Amino acid sequence: MIRKAEAKDIFYIVKLEKKVFNQSLGEKFILQELTDNPFSHYFVYVIESEVIGYIGFRVYDSQAEMMNFAVLPDY
């Protein structure tokens, strides 16, 4: 299931980033994107209550900028 990311997903997003990229944008950055940036949109892909992927992007007028996109290697 794909759904809009929530603050409760931040821990799992950071964990996913570290597994896929060996680094993370960080909890503080992602929280700010979810709560303070009206241009920011984050979605998670969940299977059996596990976040296995996510995408974050910003939309400005008719353009979009992808911030990050990751999926667990097993998927």
β-strand partners of 18: none
The Cα-based distances of 46 to 9, 36, 41, 70 in angstroms read 10, 24, 16, 13
Q: How far apart are CA 60 and CA 69, in angstroms?
A: 18
Average pLDDT over residues 10-26: 95
Average pLDDT over residues 12-18: 95
Q: Exposed/middle/buried for 54, CB within 10 Å: 0-12, 13-18, 19+?
A: buried
Interval 21-66: pLDDT, tens = 999 989 999 999 999 999 999 999 999 999 999 999 999 989 999 9
